[in-house]
Amino acid sequence: MLLLFLGPFVLLTVLFFVMPAIITAFLALTNLDAAFQGTYVGLDNFRGLFADPLLPRVLLNTVVYVFFTLICFNTGLGLVLALLTTHIPDRVGTVFRAIWLLPRLTPMVVYGLLWLWFVDPTKYGMLNTARSWFGLAPLDLISASPWLVIVLVNGFIGASLGMVILTSAIKSVPEDYVRAARVDGASSLAIVRHVILPLIRWPLTFVLVNQTLALLTSYEYILLVTGGGPFYDTTVYALYVFRRAIQNGDYGYGAALAFILVVVGAVAALSYWRLLNFERMISAPKIEAD
């Protein structure tokens, strides 16, 4: 019976995750080009990674991008929004969450164009229009602070997923625990720290892991807003794979880069599993209110 229920899931996992990884590994051993012609070259593409002069810069960009977007927005801001919208009237919180979700429901290109209009370096951009009201000169924010733009663009849309999941988790916390803490004289901050956060540890960990892996493979908004520039300043690993494989037609080397990303993602997931003690969280008995 268990195999009957797990069968479709296992089949889909093999078809859409395991098989693509195997095909990528196979292509990484060839010098396949844009004409789909190539021969077996063994580990030459992987050796080429060590000689790639742009790769160290791209890796550093990726670490900065993932860390700040994850901590400040996708997990941090998502948690703050979930806490705030569950401690105000429910109808107001629902409306606020619905508005915040609008960018996620908007096509990527439209969302990217809105940000390009916001940071437009001319006087017609929204930011510079607001600056002109105070007599300030126009600002080219993409050239001056490209990473700030990238983190904001990805962060505001990324925080929505954490907000939704963590809101549901916070609402599932038994109200009796909160009332008991207030009777004991606990402040709102103490309730959040000692009651709510421990009880939503599993959903919070899921958001952390999910968003880390998502950020490692995301590049769409970076491509739309900055194009990875100026001068590779905002080129992350996934975007570099896209440029080498799809735009340059170097499918063999691009497959080697992509396979390394698969390995990094698997190592990151397993590291989270060990460091955050998933097994103990899963096997721990659930606390339920009478």
Say if CB 38 and CB 119 are below 8 A apart. no
Predicted confidence at residue 200, as pLDDT, reads: 93
The half-sphere exposure of 139 on its side-chain side, counting CA atoms within 13 A, is: 17
The percent of residues in the chain predicted with pLDDT above 90, rounded, is 71
Predicted confidence at residue 1, as pLDDT, reads: 67
Q: Give me the chain's average pLDDT, please.
A: 90
Q: How confident is the model at residue 39 (pLDDT cuts 50, 70, 90)?
A: very high
Mean pLDDT of 112-127: 93
How are the residues of the chain apportioned to helix, strand and coil, as percentages rounded to the nearest 5? 75, 0, 25
Homologous superfamily of domain range 52-283: MetI-like (1.10.3720.10)
Distances (CA, A) of 257 to 33, 37, 45, 47, 241: 15, 19, 9, 11, 6
Residue-wise over 199-209: b if at least 16 C-beta within 10 A, else e?
Answer: bbeebbbbbbb
The percent of residues in the chain predicted with pLDDT above 70, rounded, is 94
Domain borders along the chain are 52-283
Please tell me which residue, 289 or 180, carries the higher pLDDT value.
180
Q: Is the pLDDT of residue 284 over 90?
A: no
Say if CB 75 and CB 208 are below 8 A apart. yes
Count each helix (H run) and each strand (E run) in the chain, helices first: 18, 0
Amino acid letter, 245? A
Residue-wise over 144-179: b if at least 16 C-beta within 10 A, else e?
Answer: eebeebbbbbbbbbbbbbbbbbbbebbeebeeebbe
